[in-house]
Amino acid sequence: MTSNNSHYVAPIEETPLLATDAVKTDQAPLSLWADAWRKLRRRPLFIISALLILALTVVALFPGLFTSVAPNEGCELANSEGGPTAGHPFGFTFQGCDIYSRVIHGTQASMSVGILSVLCVLVIGVTLGALAGYYGGWIDAVLARLGDIFFALPLILGALVITQLPLFRENKSVWTVVFVISLLAWPQMARITRGAVIEVRNSDFVTAARSLGVSKFGALVRHVLPNALAPIIVLATLELGVFIVAEATLSFLGIGLPQSIMSWGNDIAGAQASIRTRPEIMLFPAAALSITVLSFIMLGDAVRDALDPKSRQR
């Protein structure tokens, strides 16, 4: 069948031999984080959400820059449900407080609850999840069941029960809300961490480190966790938004922050009284809440895309 006896050779000058396996030297070195950052900073989704979050942070840290009214002051019943006037662009609440200044001051409570809860969830969830995933066996079994128990408790129901304990009923503060949210939300972080750790645990580079003499725990800290960080960071960013909503929900129901702390959830609850006559009173804190949550969720999406390992193969 071999009819073709001609032997074709490409002209050598057109197909020069390259050095086998030369090292690229033309680009700057790229770590995972540098690579992710390079991708992130070009994405409009990231730029918009980052700018919004930056603005919100400034508002939360220095509310005095944006309003001269101190928290819980300047409320006059004479102004009840009043429309916008000079110096009071959003008008007044049912209690006659300036809506604009309440929204500005409310930022602090929402942001701090969100950030503190995420930090607590990270500490508890990552520690337990990493131990469960890395060591497996009975540690994993015990922690998994423990997580399932908390997983089964709906946030609102759990919070209702916990906040009715005398200890909490007497001392409502930012910290009690953070405690309730962290207690009920850590299992999800633990599960994600556990999965990520299990995926990395059996990599050759972990075995290689172990056979270099790195201890078992050392390998977890130095090699496994850093490589499992990406999904953890993504979840943390997304949960920040979720926790801010949770705080608003609890405050709305009256089991979150006390009335003395200005928060969007309290404001939304207070605006119920005027929902028929002046629905826009509710609009302002609700809009602030939505924008905040939306920016964190957009940030989470952008970070997830940037850290996606599938997009990282050259």
Binding site for other proteins (CB under 8 A): 1-12, 14-15, 17-18, 20-21, 23-25, 27, 29-32, 203-205, 207-214, 218, 223, 226-227, 312-314
Alpha carbon distance 269, 296 (integer Å): 23
Alpha carbon distance 112, 60 (integer Å): 8
Q: Please report how close the Cβ of residue 229 comes to other proteins at its closest, in angstroms.
A: 9
Q: Which is nearer to other proteins, 26 or 170 (CB)?
A: 26
Alpha carbon distance 300, 302 (integer Å): 5
Sign of CA dihedral 206, 207, 208, 212: positive
Q: Please report how close the Cβ of residue 226 comes to other proteins at its closest, in angstroms.
A: 5
Q: Which is nearer to other proteins, 17 or 149 (CB)?
A: 17
Q: Which is nearer to other proteins, 38 or 169 (CB)?
A: 38
Q: Which is nearer to other proteins, 17 or 78 (CB)?
A: 17
Residue 50 DSSP symbol? H
For 254, the token pair is 């009256």
Q: Please report how close the Cβ of residue 129 comes to other proteins at its closest, in angstroms.
A: 19
Q: Please report how close the Cβ of residue 300 comes to other proteins at its closest, in angstroms.
A: 21
Q: Please report how close the Cβ of residue 161 comes to other proteins at its closest, in angstroms.
A: 37
Q: Which is nearer to other proteins, 121 or 209 (CB)?
A: 209
Q: How many CA atoms lie within 13 A of 151 on its CB side?
A: 12
Q: Please report how close the Cβ of residue 145 comes to other proteins at its closest, in angstroms.
A: 19
Q: Which is nearer to other proteins, 34 or 161 (CB)?
A: 34
Q: Which is nearer to other proteins, 21 or 73 (CB)?
A: 21
Q: Please report how close the Cβ of residue 209 comes to other proteins at its closest, in angstroms.
A: 7
Nearest to 86 by CA among 75, 106, 100, 65: 100
Contact 194, 163 (CB under 8 A): no
For 230, the token pair is 């990406």
Contact 158, 180 (CB under 8 A): yes
Contact 111, 120 (CB under 8 A): no
Residue 220 DSSP symbol? I
For 233, the token pair is 């960071």
For 138, the token pair is 């009975």
